[in-house]
Amino acid sequence: MRVVSVKMLREYWESHPSRAYSKGPLSAWHKVSKAAAWKTPMDVKATFGNASVRPGGRVVFNAGGNKLRIVTDINYAAGVVYVKFVGDHNEYDAINVDIVDQTK
């Protein structure tokens, strides 16, 4: 898969010293996602069993031992994963997961 907005992942762990722990988990998620060839939400679930599939191609991934959330839109036909949000539980709880888009 092509992962769009890897910059958002990097900016998250670089934005504050308290977020430095997230570099490993976010990098690991990116590596696995980049190597994947997901054609359906079921393929995503086979790779990441705890991913939450939402309507319209949106998928929420847990990372870092369930400390982080990565919200994505996936275009399965094009093989592209668009990162829309990265955050911890508190940040995630403050958003509407179905419409959030930090890339704008």
Summarize pLDDT for 7-52 with one digit per residue, the tens: 999 999 999 999 999 999 999 999 999 999 999 999 999 999 999 9
In a domain, 99, yes or no: no
Sheet strand arrangement including 80-88: 2-4, 80-88, 68-75, 58-63, 52-53
Spatial distance between the Cα atoms of 38 and 46, rounded to a whole number of angstroms: 9
Residue 101 counted as domain residue: no
User: Is 98 among the domain residues?
Assistant: no
Tally the domains of the chain.
1
Q: Which residues of 37-54 are buried (b: 16+ CB within 10 A; e: fewer)?
A: ebeebeebeeebeebeee
- Specify if 103 maps to a domain: no
Q: Is residue 25 part of a domain?
A: yes
Q: What are phi and psi of 76, to 5 degrees?
A: -65, -40
- Residue 26 domain-assigned? yes
Q: Domain of 65? A: 2-93
pLDDT band at 92 (very low <50, low <70, confident <90, very high): very high
User: What one-letter code names the amino acid at 64?
Assistant: G
Give the CATH number, domain containing residue 89: 3.30.2310
